[in-house]
Amino acid sequence: ENEPEEAEEEDDDDDEDDMMAMMPDYMVKRVEKLKDLNDRRDIIMKDYLRERAELENKYFGVCKPMYVTRAEIVAGKMDDEIKAGAKAAVVVSSSSSTDDKASEEAVDNVTGIPQFWVCAMGHMEAVAELITEQDVDCLEYCTDIRCNDDEDGMGFTLCFHFSPNEYFSNEMLTKRYDIPNLLLDDEPILQNVNGCDIDWKENKCLTTRTVTRKQRGKSGKRAGQIRVVTRKERTDSFFHFFSPPQMPGVMEEMDEEQADAIEEAFDHDYDVAQAFRSHIIPKAVLWFTGEALDVALTPEDEAAEE
């Protein structure tokens, strides 16, 4: 299966040899010296990536307790503690209106922060365009979203946690990305992408719908007879995100149009993943309130849009 890759590498080596063969000896020595410097840089970059991965892991560990607390606040597990702290810090005036007190009582009847994650997702364009009206009802059960980077810095896994709901039995949905150059500023090299199976409950699947049609036989013994045909059709849904595009096989042949379509599908899929990893997850509250929209759109961005 690796023969095409090996052939490509051999072609590159041949091109390099041809280039070197065309140079005079004194130039070859200078180029070889430059190649030595490049090899030394590669060694240094390996150390850099190792140390950066260690640093990323260190500060992920520092931030993790805050993400845990955030999930508890969203789920309402800290409602009483927050309420008690607010009462201790604020002296309520005796002149408070009846409406204010009624409003406060109404707030007390709400647990945590409903629709926190679906609202945050809705403010991120790359994600919002995938969410349908039917998805919103299901995503209200999302209690937390985390990103776990690999210790070696060569990939990450997105984890979507859900409370018990009427749509599927999974407690967590995952999406994994293997990216050898994740910590570099280069164009990401997607080595592998894995989603997960969603265990939809009966008649609750949001990614397909069952279509029933009547067909009349045109020939043979069944000519004129009507039969009922049932099939499943794909529907728009955010939950297709957990069924990523398939990596083409090494030996698989395709035309330019097919190759461009696959590349575009992977690019869009990765944009959504990075929207979660780099924006929504670390600054969820700002995406929930919409404040992150003002920060994300810089003056340069606004000028470009105009």
Question: What is residue 230's predicted lDDT score, i.e. its pLDDT?
Answer: 79
The span from the CA of 268 to the CA of 241, in Å, is 10
Whole-number pLDDT of residue 306: 42
Beta bridge partners, 208, equal 234
Which residue's entry shows tokens 């349908």? 132
Integer Cα distance of 56 and 183 in angstroms: 10
Own/partner long-range contacts of 275-280 (Cβ < 8 Å, ≥24 apart): 275/124, 275/126, 275/127, 276/127, 276/145, 276/147, 276/158, 277/147, 277/156, 277/158, 279/124, 280/120, 280/121, 280/124, 280/127, 280/145
Q: How is 138-172 classified by DSSP, letter by letter? A: HHTTEEEEEEEE-TTSSEEEEEEEE-S-SSB--SE
Q: Is residue 155 within 8 Å of 177, Cβ to Cβ?
A: yes
What's the pLDDT score for residue 107? 52
Record the pTM. 0.78
Residue with tokens 């409950």: 201
DSSP assignment of 275-289, as one string?
IIIIIITTTHHHHHH
Scanning the chain, the segments in alpha helix (DSSP H) are: 3-21, 25-75, 79-89, 98-108, 116-122, 125-128, 133-139, 256-274, 284-289, 291-296, 299-305
User: What is the three-class DSSP state of 31?
Assistant: helix
Distance of CA 187 to the CA centre of its chain: 17
C-alpha torsion sign, points 69, 72, 74, 79: negative
> Residue 230, SS3?
strand
Q: For every one of its 306 residues, what pLDDT tens digit does the chain have, with 9 covering 90 and above?
A: 444 444 444 555 566 678 888 889 999 999 999 999 999 999 999 999 899 999 989 998 999 999 999 999 999 999 999 988 877 666 554 455 555 555 555 556 889 999 999 999 999 999 999 999 999 999 999 999 999 999 999 999 999 999 999 999 999 999 999 999 888 878 888 899 999 999 999 999 999 998 877 776 677 666 667 777 778 899 999 999 999 988 776 556 777 888 888 889 999 999 999 999 999 999 999 999 999 988 755 544 444 444
